[in-house]
Amino acid sequence: MTTDGDDSIRPFEVTVDRDDIDDLRARLDRTRWPDQLPDAGWAYGTELEFLRGLCEYWRDDFNWSAFEARLNAFDQYATTIDGQPLHFYHVRSPEPDATPLVLSHGWPGSVAEFLDVLGPLADPAAHGGDPADAFHVVAPSLPGFGFSGPTRERGYDVPRVADAVAELMARLGYDRYVAQGGDWGALVTALLGANYPDRVDAIHTNMLFLNPSSLEADDPTALLDEQGLADYRETAEFRDEETAYHEIQATKPQSLAYGLTDSPAGLAGWIGEKFRTWSDCGGDLESHIGRDRLLDNLSVYWLTETINSSMRIYYETDVGAATPDAVDVPTGHARYPAEVYKTPRVWAEEVYDITYWNDMPDGGHFAAMEVPDLFVEDLRSFVGEIG
CA 363 – CA 366 distance, rounded (Å)? 7
SS3 335: strand
The answer to whether 365 is a known catalytic residue is yes
Q: What is the CA radius of gyration of the chain?
A: 20
For residue 330, CA distances in Å to 101, 327, 353 come to 14, 8, 5
SS3 98: coil
- 371 residue type, one letter: V
Instruction: Considering the candidates 4, 315, 353, 362, report the single residue annotated as catalytic.
Output: 315
The answer to whether 183 is a known catalytic residue is yes
Instruction: Considering the candidates 183, 231, 280, 378, report the single residue annotated as catalytic.
Output: 183
Helix (H) / strand (E) element for 168: namely helix 158-171
The answer to whether 315 is a known catalytic residue is yes
DSSP letters of 243-297? -HHHHHHHH-HHHHHHHHHH-HHHHHHHHHHHHHHHSSSTT-HHHHT-HHHHHHH
CA 243 – CA 199 distance, rounded (Å)? 35
Query: Contact, 246 vs 315, CB < 8 A?
Result: no
SS3 131: helix
- Helix ranges (H only) for 279-357 are 285-288, 291-304, 307-316, 319-322, 345-351
Instruction: Considering the candidates 90, 204, 333, 365, report the single residue annotated as catalytic.
Output: 365
Cis bond upstream, residue 108 (ω within 30): yes
Q: Which residues are catalytic?
A: 183, 315, 365
